[in-house]
Amino acid sequence: MDDNFHFVKSISKENFGVPEQIHGIKVANLCVRLAEFIECEINKEDLYLAALIHDIGLGKIDRDIINKSGELDIDEREMVNTHSAHSAEICEEIGFSEEIINTVLYHHENSDGTGYPEGRNSIEIPLGAKILRICDVFVALTSDRPYRGKFSILEAIEVMDEFNENFDSWLFEEFKKMINKDGFI
């Protein structure tokens, strides 16, 4: 896992800085915990690596948009939403496995079909991407942002409950059981 961290630092561009790298590490650790909690067969090394670099495509997007404190307009939102495809392209260029590429590509797909880039339905979204979707949102909510302070664990779960149609319902219930049991380390 340490090697992976050095690797991600080595491929990170100036636009993908330390905060994004830390976000990736937190999400990656949580993803592996969830995969272990549900005792699934998924390749945990691949999942860790995919989660570590899932947002690396943000490096290709204008920094002013990423750091904007107000609401994004439609064009800006569309621009930001290209990041998962950019991340997947980078994974492809590096020669990562298809599993890693797809986990990264679909990490903003919602189980009700409202996500991006393809608006996939729940059964079309790979398990790794579903795990990443939940852990990514949770870590984002429990972290400080330029425009808001971090939410507590309970507050974050409450927020996620409000738009739980984004998540695989079984997996989200398992995630909550895991957090209730072991907290968020």
Binding stretches for Fe ion (CB under 5 A): 55, 136
Cβ closest to Fe ion, residue 55 vs residue 168: 55
Q: 26 vs 35, which CB is nearer to Fe ion?
A: 26
Residue 54 CB, shortest distance to Fe ion, in Å, is: 6
Q: Looking at the DSSP assignment, which residues form a beta bridge with residue 145? A: 148
CB of 177 to Fe ion, least distance (A): 23
Close Cβ partners of 107 (under 8 Å, ≥ 6 residues apart): 50, 54, 84, 87, 129, 132, 133, 136
Closest distance between Fe ion and the C-beta of residue 23, in Å? 6
Element (H, E) at 162: helix 153-162
CB of 71 to Fe ion, least distance (A): 18
Separation of alpha carbons 77 and 5, rounded Å = 29
> How many CA atoms lie within 13 Å of 89's alpha carbon, on the beta-carbon side?
9
Nearest residue (CB) to Fe ion, 136 versus 174: 136
Residue number, 55 or 99, with CB nearest to Fe ion? 55
| Distance from the first to the final alpha carbon of the chain | 17
